[in-house]
Amino acid sequence: MSLLGSLLSRQPAPLLGLDISSSSVKLVELGRDKGGELVLERCAIEPLERGWVVDGNVEKFEEVAEAMRRVVKKSGTRTKNVAMALPPSAVITKKIILPAGLSEQDLEAQVEAEANQYIPFSLDEVSLDFCVLGPSTTSAGDVEVLIAASRREKVQDRQGLAEAAGLKPMIVDVESYASRLAAGRLIQALPNGGVDTMVALFEVGAFTTSMQVIRNEEVLYDRDQAFGGAQLTQLIVRQYGFSPEEAENKKRNGDLPEDYGSAILKPFVDSLAQEVARALQFFFTSTPHNRVDYVMLAGGSAALPGLTDAVTSQTSFPCNLANPFEGMQVGGAVREKKMRREAPSYLTSCGLAMRRFLQ
């Protein structure tokens, strides 16, 4: 069986979490102190030019590999082991029920047999992995098993990028799984340890915003919508005549004309909040649910001034920023002020870095 790199494996050695999105490469390295508490050892972001990564596909291999080398250098890490991720669209996942007590060999054979039913490709073309989640809640004496599969070339693309950047690929995960892992820490910090709490997690990327509704570590609903921070950059280009690169830099550095806040930013924030409200409405109309307890915002545009208030105003649900480093100690190599400003961007890379401590 060809492992998905390994998609659901355990990795106790030092490990970098490296998230490649359409707009940037994000790196996180975590450690633990003597008391077992998480420590943020390093984090860094390196922007990517538009078109280098499209819909999770790397279109400019050398340029992205070079950006990965730069982000590693910028972070100052010496760690080579890396966990990366594929977009959910590149991975087929399926939960199945199998008899408890099977040997590893029998379990593998059963998973392959089941996978044939759900995967529309020959198993020879696929990287396949599985993980026993625990006893089945619906079938006594059985276990629930998660199967994950991706086209082999998708996995090899990520592995090849890591190797081209001088890194050693240890884990290929799924982006949404990694972001859920990081968000899980934040949910546990909610009242009552987050038990039975329904959280709508929105990750606002450059071109796509992904939504997951989570309760007790289970995904009740997920959906992607085609809006994101790149639209703000386009508005800046149109309003002020900057090139797209100039507009992106000025947006990141806050170096924009005086009327930017009222003419561009506030209307964009309001429209972003409306999109979040619309996505929640889709969830309510297509499921038995009619409310969520919290809205959590992550991604590069999540920290836009006024966005959390605008979302609360539009939806009537409490909304906060997802800072994946909340409650962690911060190592001396981290520029804390910059990290706090960019923290919501690191949700997926933080989840990948947390894979180091999964037992």
- Bin 56: left if φ > 0, else alpha if -120 < ψ < 50, else beta: left
Q: What is the pLDDT of residue 281?
A: 96
* Selection from 347, 302, 339 nearest residue 320 by Cα: 302
Q: Using alpha carbons, list the distances in angstroms from residue 237 to 234, 247, 249, 264, 268.
A: 5, 6, 11, 11, 14
Q: Is 225 helix (H, G, I), strand (E, B) or coil?
A: strand
**DSSP three-state, residue 244:** helix
Identify which of 89, 322, 357 has the alpha carbon closest to the alpha carbon of residue 214.
322
Q: What is the pLDDT of residue 26?
A: 97
How high is the pLDDT of residue 169? 95
Distance CA 255, CA 9 (A): 44
CATH class of 90-151: alpha beta
CA distance 319 to 112: 42
Q: What residue segments make up the domains of the chain, in order of their start?
A: 90-151
Amino acid at 195: V
> What pLDDT score does 247 carry?
87
Question: Residue 155 has which token pair?
Answer: 């996995």
pLDDT at residue 7, as a whole number:
53
Residue 9: per-residue pLDDT: 47
β partners of residue 241: none
Q: Which residues of the chain fall short of a pLDDT of 70?
A: 1-12, 359
Phi then psi for 66, rounded to 5 degrees? -65, -40
The pLDDT value recorded for residue 1 is 41
